[in-house]
Amino acid sequence: MCGRFTLTTTPEEVAQHFGLDEIPLLSPRFNVAPGQPIATLARAPEGARRVLTLRRWGLIPSWAKEPKIGNRMINARIKTAAEKPSFRGAFRKRRCLVPADGFYEWAARPGGAKQPFHIALPERRCFAIAGLWESWRDPAGASIESCTLLTTSAHAKLREVHDRMPVILDPADYASWLDPRLGDEATLARLARSAPAEGLELHAVGRRVNDPRFDDAACLAPASGPG
C-alpha cells in the first residue's frame, strides 16, 4: 500500500526530470494524503508532449454513481489492475506518472503503535510512481479527474516495514508507460517493475506525519526515540 508520499523537489527539477515544456507551479509537499489534488503527468491528446495536471488522489470509475467510491481506490495492485472493472479501462488507455521524491510506510511495533518511515532514493531524488487516471461526470455534468497509484510486492529490504510498495518506474520507460497505443498487458507489467532495493533508503520519522493536517518539513524530522 502507499497512503502518503512527498514531493519536495523544486519545480525546475521536476520539469527537467520529466521533460516538461514549462516549469510547473508546484509547492513543496511533505505529507501528500488521499483525497487531495496531486500532480500527475500524461500525454497531451495531440501528441507525445507531457502535460502536468492536478487530479484527485482516489480513482473514481467512470461508471460510479457517486465520487466517494474514490476513497477506497487510492491504490491498485499491478497484478490485478488489468482485470478489475474499476481500473482495467484506465490501465489500457489512461496511464500517468506521479512525481514523488519519497513515500511513507508504517511498521508495526510492540504495544500496537506503528512507527512511520520515509523511504526515498539517495539525496531524495525525484522519481515517478506508476499511476492510472480517470474522468467522472456527475448528473449535472461537472467532471472530476482522479487517479490511483499502482503497488507491487515490497523488496526484501522494505518488508520489515510493509509488504507492499508503490511501483517506481525507470525513467527510460516513462514514454512507453504513457503511450496509449501500448495495450499489451505483459509489456505493461514488464515496464511496471520497481526501483532496485539497494537504491532505496529508510528513515524513521516522527508521528507528526500520521495527521494529514500537517504538511511541512517537520514531517520528515527523525524519530526522537526507538519505535
Provide the residue range defining the domain that includes 126: 5-220
Amino acid at 198: E
97 domain-assigned: yes
The answer as to whether 204 is a domain residue is yes
Paired strand residues for 166:
151
pLDDT per residue, tens digit, the chain (227 aa), is 789 999 999 999 999 999 999 999 999 999 999 999 999 999 988 877 899 999 999 999 999 999 999 999 999 999 999 999 999 999 999 999 999 999 999 998 887 789 999 999 999 999 999 999 999 998 888 899 999 999 999 888 888 899 999 999 999 999 999 998 888 888 888 888 756 666 899 999 999 999 999 999 999 999 986 54
- The residue from 96, 105, 145, 147 that is catalytic is 105
Contact 97/18 with Cβ under 8 angstroms? yes
For the chain, how many structural domains are there in total? 1
Note whether residue 227 is domain-resident. no
| Residue 226 placed within a domain | no
Residue 175 in domain: yes
Q: Is 105 a catalytic residue?
A: yes
DSSP letter, residue 157: G
C-alpha cell at 114: 506503528
* Residue 99: inside a domain: yes
Is there a domain that residue 64 lies in? Answer: yes
126 catalytic? Reply is: no
Domain of residue 108, CATH code: 3.90.1680.10
In b/e form, how buried is each residue of 175-213, taking b as 16+ CB within 10 angstroms? ebbbeeeeeeeeebeebbebbeeeebeeebbbbbbeeee
